[in-house]
Amino acid sequence: MVKGPPYGIMVDHAKSEFSEVVLVGAKAYQMVNLTAMDGRAAVFAFRLSKQLDGEFKNMWMTDAVWPVADAAVPQQAF
């Protein structure tokens, strides 16, 4: 799954840019703009949650990653 479209660019990319992190309670959201070695670009949104108890208490864990259409990402996000 990670090596195929659309996530394959995450495995071996030439450049990455990160948006500001948006915190909403114990959730965090961030967009990442990746550029592949061949110049292709893709934007992904990440959702993380702060673990409230257990072995990983107070650590941030990735809950979801999804591709975002370029038109939906304002340039000032990066």
- Quick: pLDDT tens for 20-67: 999 999 999 999 999 999 999 999 999 999 999 999 999 999 999 999
Decide if pLDDT at 71 tops 60. Answer: no
Q: What is the pTM of this model?
A: 0.82
Domains delineated in the chain: 7-71 (3.10.450)
Q: What's the pLDDT score for residue 22?
A: 94
Across-strand partners of 43? 33, 68
